[in-house]
Amino acid sequence: MTSGTSLYEPEPRVEASVDRRAIGVLLANVGTPAAPTPKALRRYLRQFLSDTRIAEVPRWKWLPILYLFVLTTRPQRVAKLYEKIWTDEGSPLLAIGKRQVEGIERRLREAQGAGEPTFHVAIGMRYGTPSIRSALAELRNRGCTRLLFFPLFPQYSAATTASTVDMLARQLRRWRWVPELRTINSYYDDPGFLRALAASIRETWADGEPDRLVLSYHGVPKRYIDNGDPYQCQCLETTRLLVEELGIDAERVISTFQSQFGRELWIGPKTDATMRELPQAGLGNVDVACPGFSADCIETLEEIEVENRGYFEESGGERLRYIPCLNDRPDHLDALTDLILRNTREWRTLGAPAPPPASDAPPRSGVRESGSSTPTQP
pLDDT digits (tens, 9 = 90+) for 210-245: 999 999 999 999 999 999 999 999 999 999 999 999
Poorest-pLDDT segment among 24-28, 141-145, 285-289, 359-363:
359-363
Backbone angles phi, psi at 9, to 5 degrees: -70, 140
Q: Encode pLDDT of 73-103 as tens digits.
A: 999 999 999 999 999 999 999 999 999 999 9
Largest CA distance in the chain: 77
Kindly report the pTM of this predicted structure. 0.89
| pLDDT for the residue numbered 374 | 35
Residue 114 in this model has a pLDDT that exceeds 90? no
Three-state SS letters, 310-355: HHHHHCCCCEEEECCCCCCCHHHHHHHHHHHHHHCHHHHCCCCCCC
Query: Is the per-residue pLDDT at 352 higher than 50?
Result: no
- pLDDT of 376 reads 31
User: What is the Cα–Cα distance from 32 to 89, expressed in whole angstroms?
Assistant: 13
- Residue spans per domain, the chain: 23-188+330-348, 191-322
Res 12: pLDDT: 78
CATH 3.40.720.10 fits 23-188+330-348, yes or no: no
Q: In b/e form, how buried is each residue of 297-324, taking b as 16+ CB within 10 angstroms?
A: bbbbbbbbbebbbebbeeeebeebbbbb
Of 12-26, 181-195, 294-308, minimum mean pLDDT range: 12-26
Helix axes 38-49, 71-85, angle to 10 degrees: 110
161-164 own/partner pairs: CB under 8 Å, 24+ apart = 161/185, 161/186, 162/53, 163/51, 163/53, 163/54, 163/126, 164/28, 164/126, 164/132
Q: Report the chain's mean pLDDT, rounded to a whole number.
A: 91
Decide if pLDDT at 5 tops 90. Answer: no
pLDDT at 187: 98
Q: Is the pLDDT of residue 365 over 50?
A: no
Non-local (6+) Cβ contacts of 338 within 8 A are 192
The predicted pLDDT at position 4 comes to 63
Residue 361's pLDDT is what?
46
pLDDT surpasses 90 at 273: yes
pLDDT, average across residues 160-171: 98
Lowest pLDDT segment from 196-200, 342-346, 368-372: 368-372
Compute the residue count for the chain. Answer: 378
Q: What pLDDT does 262 receive?
A: 83
| pLDDT tier, 30 (very low <50, low <70, confident <90, very high otherwise) | very high
CB 92 within 8 A of CB 85: yes
Closest by CA position to 75, among listed 30, 47, 41, 113: 41
How far are the Cα atoms of 109, 150, 232, 247 from residue 336, in angstroms, in the given order? 14, 9, 22, 23
The confidence score (pLDDT) of residue 209 equals 97
3-state SS class at 98: helix
The Cα–Cα gap between 213 and 361 comes to: 31
| DSSP E strand stretches across the chain | 23-32, 119-128, 146-151, 180-183, 212-218, 253-258, 285-289, 319-322
| CATH architecture entry for 191-322 | 3-Layer(aba) Sandwich (3.40)
Of 112-116, 158-162, 340-344, the one with minimum mean pLDDT is 112-116
Q: Hey, do 23-188+330-348 and 191-322 end up sharing a CATH topology, with the first three levels equal? A: yes
Strands (E) located in 129-274? 146-151, 180-183, 212-218, 253-258
C-alpha–C-alpha distance, residues 352 and 350, integer Å: 6
Burial class of residue 228 in the structure, from the number of CB atoms within 10 Å of its CB (0-12 exposed, 13-18 middle, 19+ buried): exposed
